[in-house]
Amino acid sequence: MALKEVDRREARKAIWKLRRKVEEEAEEINFLNIMPMMDMMTILLVFLIKQFSVQQLAVSQPTGLQLPASTAKRQPQPAVNITITQSAIVVEDDAVVEVKGGQVDAKWKSQGQQGYAIDPIVSALSKHRTRLSRLAQMQNQTFDGVAIVMADRRTPYRLLTEVLYSAGQAEFANYRLIVMQKGQ
């Protein structure tokens, strides 16, 4: 019985020491200085506001591409880029089909020379549509199907309509034609 009482006393002493140690450590941190955190959040907020207010779409004009002139002042919004040059049709910096004499070879069209759908453009844009649809879905948004078309001013109308038709087949139903502002 004496052994049990000694064990209880030692246990109580150990618990008391532990409790006192925890209380001493708790007293060391009795406040939280949030001023540095507020400074950091303010700096981040200012950075983000400046970043988004200045952000504009940079559209690079390939060499040899002469865009038509316009008096439009709207800035282009981010979208899938389709560029029609005198030698190729480029989707997002990847040349997808060759252009000769202002037209695409009939072997790239599913309906032959008289067809409008250019298969490599449809497949390239379909890949981008799938990727953009997933991104929009993850952000709880809907896919808007906007494509930016940069065409040389000497591009035949038939080729432009074939590209627009092919984009429509890949569910890019909204187009924005890029032009140069007059005087630039």
- Whichever domain contains 174, its CATH number is 3.30.420
How confident is the model at residue 55, as a pLDDT?
Answer: 47
Q: Are 91 and 72 in contact (CB under 8 A)?
A: no
Assess whether 39 and 86 both reside in one domain.
no
**From the first residue on, what is the mean pLDDT of each consecutive set of 10 residues in the chain (184 residues)?**
68 87 71 81 85 55 60 63 88 89 86 86 91 86 86 86 90 82 56
Assess whether 90 and 139 both reside in one domain.
yes
Question: 60 in a domain, yes or no?
Answer: no
Assess whether 31 and 75 both reside in one domain.
no
As for how many domains the chain has, the answer is: 2
Question: 38 in a domain, yes or no?
Answer: yes
- Per DSSP, what are the bridge partners of residue 90? 83, 95
Assess whether 78 and 113 both reside in one domain.
yes
Question: 62 in a domain, yes or no?
Answer: no
Question: 84 in a domain, yes or no?
Answer: yes
Q: Are 92 and 81 in contact (CB under 8 A)?
A: yes
Question: 135 in a domain, yes or no?
Answer: yes
Question: 101 in a domain, yes or no?
Answer: yes
Task: Give the pTM.
Answer: 0.59
Assess whether 96 and 142 both reside in one domain.
yes
How confident is the model at residue 22, as a pLDDT?
Answer: 80
Tokens 């199907």 -> residue: 145
Query: What is the extent of the structural domain holding 93?
Result: 69-181
Assess whether 86 and 118 both reside in one domain.
yes
How confident is the model at residue 25, as a pLDDT?
Answer: 72
Assess whether 74 and 49 both reside in one domain.
no
Token output for 122:
């449809």
Assess whether 75 and 19 both reside in one domain.
no
Assess whether 76 and 143 both reside in one domain.
yes
Query: What are the CA-CA distances from residue 115 to residues 88, 99, 122, 159 (Å)?
Result: 18, 15, 13, 11
Question: 64 in a domain, yes or no?
Answer: no
How confident is the model at residue 182, as a pLDDT?
Answer: 60
Q: Where does 55-118 have alpha helices with state H?
A: none
Assess whether 81 and 111 both reside in one domain.
yes
Number of helices followed by number of strands (H, E) in the chain: 4, 8
Token output for 80:
């899938």
Assess whether 89 and 156 both reside in one domain.
yes
Assess whether 130 and 81 both reside in one domain.
yes
Question: 151 in a domain, yes or no?
Answer: yes
Using DSSP's 3-state secondary structure scheme, residue 72 falls into: coil
